[in-house]
Amino acid sequence: MSRIKKIPLILGIALLIVATFTGCARMFWNSAEQEGGFIRLNVGQPGAKGIGVDYHDVTGLSITVYDPGDAELATFEWDEQEGPQSYVVKVNSTGTHGISVTHVSDDGGEVVEATETAEFEIAAMVITVINITPGVIGTIQVDGEPAGDPWEWLFDFWVQDACTAPYSMCLEIRDDGTWYFWNRYDGSGGSDDFGTWYTEGDLLYIETPYGAVPTEVTRVDDNTVIFVEMDPNPFYRRGTEPCGYVFDKTPIELFVSMGEWTTGTISDNQMHLYSFQAPWTGSFTLYWKEVGDGDLPDYTAGIAVSAYEDDQYTPIFEWEEMSGYYDPKILNLTSGEAIYVVVEGRDQSGDYGIRIMSP
């Protein structure tokens, strides 16, 4: 189930706006009412302007109730001039019923609509009460559970990198009104920045030591968000980033080289994963070669390199930008010990070389 907070509709998709949401709902059983199978629809006063309908006042509702077989039980047309109303629908069976609510507005003669739907269970032939607020998307209330915080979808860890590694920073927004920017992907390693947050209408206020920063929140989809005034680049819900987490990839195996390079082609911010298992106990030298390194072969990519122990978390070194050709890394390993090497594209796409040698 998703609970939708108003987020200004993106890119101004014409004047006729149709948005479909799945509403969560709460069912109120009133055993004191007369016995029988009925649904009571309560329509309240119009809600906040602009929730789900692009800054237009809601002037009407079209409400349809469906039985478990998706047959229409009743349709009601509500107009704002009627004020709060209650409608009664006779039901014939228990089971999963449905409701569709279209919020209607008018913009200089152009019809503006937003539609939401919800399913709810009728488990006994009593009176089921459903509360609807015109203009408030995602708050059809059914089934005894509180409607919840409309910002609940935002309480999670968010990353900005399309491809992520253990060193990727993440933003955590908590339901207790606090936020943290963690140094590591798993939300550990200390927080560079932290503070509190609060909301006023459609704006999220991020409070820092330098004051409160108001930002419009654009919910691109369930797993992508843009904090418009803070950063034009999207944040991804951790675990849904487009390129994925680097250790979810299948590593390319490296072997002791006699001087030849393993070549890869990489773009900016893309990540490649390599593994190496020591064939004997001793020292091994990790080289990488990128744009600007002398001698042949010439490579064109800019890269940063990290190495991790076998647990895929503990760093041997991280995000090394300096040349691994002139200043390679010495690895002291025991026989059978495995390590992982992460190569990240940096600034310039192209090809690069990597190798491990025994000195």
Looking at residue 111, its pLDDT comes to 79
Asked if residue 145 is part of any domain, the answer here is no
Domain extent at residue 311: 249-357
Number of domains in the chain: 3
121 and 225 in a single domain? The answer is no
pTM above 0.85, yes or no: no
78 and 169 in a single domain? The answer is no
Q: What share of the chain is helix, strand, coil (3-state, %, to 5)?
A: 5, 50, 50
- Among 244, 275, 297, which residue terminates a domain? 244
Asked if residue 149 is part of any domain, the answer here is no
Give the residue from 306, 256, 303 showing the smallest Cα distance to 278. Answer: 256
Asked if residue 143 is part of any domain, the answer here is no
Q: What would the pLDDT profile of 272-330 be if each residue is shown by its tens digit?
A: 999 999 999 999 999 999 999 988 999 999 999 999 999 999 999 999 999 999 999 99
Asked if residue 102 is part of any domain, the answer here is yes
Q: Which of 59-63, 83-87, 268-272 has the lowest mean pLDDT?
A: 83-87
Looking at residue 201, its pLDDT comes to 78
3-class secondary-structure state, position 275: strand
Q: What is the DSSP string of 118-140?
A: EEEEE-SSSEEEEEE-TT-TT--
78 and 166 in a single domain? The answer is no
Asked if residue 137 is part of any domain, the answer here is no
Asked if residue 147 is part of any domain, the answer here is no
Contact 132, 61 (CB under 8 A): yes
Distance CA 71, CA 125 (A): 18
Q: 159 pLDDT band (50/70/90 cuts)?
A: very high
Looking at residue 11, its pLDDT comes to 25
- The sign of the CA dihedral 137, 141, 143, 149 is positive
3-class secondary-structure state, position 20: strand
Distance CA 218, CA 188 (A): 27
Which amino acid type is present at position 35? E
**ω into residue 8 within 30 of 0, thus cis?**
no
- Among 244, 276, 293, which residue terminates a domain? 244
Looking at residue 127, its pLDDT comes to 65
Looking at residue 164, its pLDDT comes to 97
Asked if residue 202 is part of any domain, the answer here is yes
